[in-house]
Amino acid sequence: MSAAHSAGALEPPPAQAVAADVARALEEDVGSGDLTASLVPAERRVTATIVCREEAVLCGQPWVTEVLRQVAPGAQARWHLQDGERTAPGAKVVEIDGPARALLTAERCCLNFLQTLSAVATRTARYVDAVRGTRAAILDTRKTIPGLRQAQKYAVRCGGGSNHRMGLFDAVLIKENHIAAAGGLTAAFRAAQALAATRPVAFIQVEVETLTQLQEALDAGVTMVLLDNMPLETLREAVRMAGGRCSLEISGGVTLERLHELAATGVDRISVGALIKDIQAVDFSMRFSERPVERGSR
């Protein structure tokens, strides 16, 4: 069963972004060459099986495929599970036939991508499960591993979550320091509206810390509000005040234990930095078996 909302949610990052991720990983791991793999006879061929040792939501197939393309282009992979699917302990994820040297070199990069991205997808799925039955969507933040933002945001989608802005370039989020520097909430919002009239802006969102600020945002016509670190009763009052006039998002102090009661206040979105920054790697392993020599070969 897939943890993601829909097949469309699982659109991976552009191929060039995946290729760049893999190239960086191989450069730092392989460098000028894999010394230990060179001890294996060049003609030796094996079947490598990647197994997931625990319950998880799988994520990382495009990166594993790209590692093989760059390191072992003749290898043949047979996937038993797809990104977004839940794994059982001991589940076979993929079997790969290819040259032993190349697969030995590819092993660690393949597993690193799988263990990290599956960890994000798995944690996200837990948060999504916790708000089931409410209207709240689970969103990520920009608290990603440098250089892996597109990969980790894809992993959030595999876990059934949604993405907030990709970076500082695609949307406007007006926070406390922006409000102070711009001369007030309304002034900052009007400046953002003027900016959006000159270039593509996915959305304009304003962060508020008090109900007084929320009222000012509503009066200014803000349609997306971020409620920062508000107590439960204040959140309920904020939902009542907004009355559906804007989308409300919770941020700050969000834990898995408190998640359902936060979602039950009636907010639309909950953004959680822990989806990405507080993960525990999922346990994957790769095991080799020598391929039988085909009849007639020498």
What residues act catalytically? 108, 143, 175, 207, 228
**Quick count: other Cβ atoms within 10 Å of Cβ 292?**
9
Q: What is the DSSP letter of 279?
A: -
Decide if 193 contacts 163 (C-beta within 8 A): no
Q: Hey, what amino acid is at 194? A: A
Coil vs helix vs strand at 274? helix
For residues 115 and 53, give the distance between their C-alpha atoms in angstroms, rounded to a whole number.
11
d(CA 267, CA 254): 13
Cβ contact 207:141 at 8 Å: no
Give the DSSP H or E segment for 288. Answer: strand 284-290
In whole angstroms, give the CA distance from residue 152 to residue 174: 24
